Amino acid sequence: MDKLVIEGGVRLKGTVDVSGAKNAALPIMAAALLTEERSVIENVPPLRDVLTMIRILRELGVRVEMDGDRVTIEPGRYQKDTAPYKLVSTMRASFCVLGPILAKLGHACVSLPGGCVIGPRPVDLHLKGLRGIGAEIKVDGGYVFAKAKQLRGGRVYLGGSFGSSVLATDNVMTAATLAHGTTTIENAACEPETVDLAHFLMKMGARIRGLGTPIVEIEGVKRLHGARHRVIPDRIEAGTYMAAAAVTGGTVTVNGARIEHIGAVVDKFRQAGISVTVTDGAVTVKGPSHLRPVDATTLPYPGFPTDMQAQIVAMMCVSNGISIVTEKIYPDRFMHISELTRMGAQITLEGPSAIVKGVKRLSGAPVMASDLRASAALVLAGLVAQGKTDVARIYHLDRGYERMEQKLTRLGARIWREKE
């Protein structure tokens, strides 16, 4: 396995380009299964999760080629309906093949998903939603078996204990495009990645109304065709590099950052005393001499994103005061705290809230990544810490960030990859 080695204390400076959003690319790639025709998807980051999705599609008998950031998918008349455990267990987003396979073939067999260990994330809303449009579903031996001679439009409510579900919305919306009649999804996810998926589906011939709202209507059609689509920039990657500039007191322009996708992040940054300047297609961040403490609560979009929670905790570790960061989406998503404390952070966990008392400095230390965003938080801490930080198990990081160490090096960071 690889690790990242970081020598902290450098103020980052320069320009960094944001890659395509993997959380949009993955369900879009799955949605290409709805047609026999070729689809071309651009701005797809060559990440570990994307390569896993390509393997799943090929396992189904689909022809897939990746050239740079362009993925060409030619489903043809594929007949295999099974997404196996060995692949789905490594990535939760792979479960979004369930809806398109079911809608296209009338039957599907998909392993229950895996991914980052950040607390329970059941698939009950996926199954509830698909049952609501006529699917017969059973779970046996770690697999979901679904069948439907013809999906039919219905009214489904996708609210869960912690709000709407992005992947459940994706699965039901995708399947409903080929259902008979109109499907209404109540409490649908409003995230930009779900809206981007809907745009791809509409290019394929789907009829969808209410994009970006909690009420989405899908009028089923008989068939869909191939399409060409460019994936939106990754708002979480953009936020992470903005945080890297802020925590090091540097100045970085993030090309591709869309202000309309990161409004809650920008608001918290400005509260922390960070200068954020918005231009056409870019955001420039200038870190202050001392970060001010802020309180943040993760919420469904357009609230503060759970995928930025670990990063803001890392930032607040060196703020000038006490911050409270509350996790309302995945209350157990605090595995980075124990590693940050190894670097000298003062953090107390009280229920779903992290109480962060800022310190003057962090110290480099060997730390271990537990999940994707925790990895990013440890890198941020390493960038500002005195001394050397070794971040182990960065295969988590590689699932969501394209060549992070190379991009940070171009900003002046002293960071490199080594074998453990």
Given a cut of 60, is residue 88 above it in pLDDT?
yes
Expressed as residue numbers, the domain containing 179 is: 22-230
CA–CA separation, 294 and 177 (whole Å)? 43
pLDDT of residue 264: 98
Tens digits of per-residue pLDDT, 400-414? 999 999 999 999 999
- Same domain (yes/no): 175, 250: no
CATH number assigned to the domain comprising residue 388: 3.65.10.10
φ, ψ of residue 13 to 5 degrees: the values are: -155, 135
Q: Strands (DSSP E) along 82-240, which ranges?
A: 82-83, 107-111, 136-140, 143-147, 155-157, 159-160, 163-164, 182-186, 207-209, 215-219, 228-230
Under the banding of pLDDT at 50, 70 and 90, the label for residue 120 is: very low
Given a cut of 90, is residue 163 above it in pLDDT?
no
- Same domain (yes/no): 181, 59: yes
- Same domain (yes/no): 87, 184: yes
Given a cut of 90, is residue 420 above it in pLDDT?
no
Q: Which of 280, 277, 273 is nearest to 246 (CA)?
A: 273
* Domain end marker among 230, 251, 283: 230
pLDDT of residue 121: 54
Given a cut of 90, is residue 43 above it in pLDDT?
yes
* Domain end marker among 175, 195, 230: 230
CA–CA separation, 130 and 40 (whole Å)? 27
Structure tokens at 281: 């297609």
Given a cut of 50, is residue 118 above it in pLDDT?
no
* Domain end marker among 230, 249, 271: 230
- Same domain (yes/no): 201, 237: no
Tens digits of per-residue pLDDT, 279-291? 988 999 999 999 9
pLDDT of residue 119: 46
- Same domain (yes/no): 156, 195: yes
Q: Which of 12, 46, 6 is nearest to 26 (CA)?
A: 46
pLDDT of residue 117: 47
pLDDT of residue 90: 84
pLDDT of residue 300: 94
Prior bond to 302 cis, omega within 30?
yes
pLDDT of residue 36: 98
DSSP 8-state assignment for residue 414: E
**What is the enclosing helix (H) or strand (E) of 288?**
none
**What is the enclosing helix (H) or strand (E) of 419?**
strand 414-419
Tens digits of per-residue pLDDT, 305-336? 999 999 999 999 999 999 999 999 988 899 99
- Same domain (yes/no): 183, 224: yes
DSSP of 87-115:
HHTT-GGGGGGHHHHHHHHSEEEEEPP--
Tens digits of per-residue pLDDT, 6-18? 999 999 999 999 9
- Arithmetic mean of pLDDT, 295-313: 97
Average pLDDT score, the chain: 95
- Arithmetic mean of pLDDT, 151-157: 97
Tens digits of per-residue pLDDT, 330-377? 888 999 999 999 999 999 999 999 999 999 999 999 999 999 999 999
Residue 360 CB neighbour total at 10 angstroms = 8
The residue length of the chain stands at 420
pLDDT of residue 114: 62
Whole-number Cα distances in Å, 402 to 94, 234, 285, 376, 408: 19, 11, 21, 12, 11
Under the banding of pLDDT at 50, 70 and 90, the label for residue 92 is: confident
DSSP 8-state assignment for residue 46: -
- Same domain (yes/no): 239, 147: no
- Which residues neighbour 67 within 8 Å (Cβ) at sequence distance 6 or greater? none
What are 144's strand-pairing partners?
A: 110, 139
Cα maximum dimension of the chain:
64
Which SS3 state, helix, strand or coil, does residue 187 take? coil
- Active site amino acids: 116
Structure tokens at 239: 């936020």
When divided into structural domains, the chain yields a total of 2
- Same domain (yes/no): 243, 272: yes
- Same domain (yes/no): 203, 270: no
- Same domain (yes/no): 97, 30: yes
pLDDT of residue 393: 95
- Residue 113 burial (CB < 10 Å; 0-12/13-18/19+)? buried
- Which residues neighbour 406 within 8 Å (Cβ) at sequence distance 6 or greater? none
- Same domain (yes/no): 42, 173: yes
- Same domain (yes/no): 82, 187: yes
Give the strand order in the sheet containing 346-350. Answer: 296-297, 322-326, 353-357, 346-350
Assessment of whether the complete model's pTM goes beyond 0.85: yes
Given a cut of 70, is residue 69 above it in pLDDT?
yes
Which of 86-95, 258-267, 338-347, 411-420 has the lowest average pLDDT? 86-95
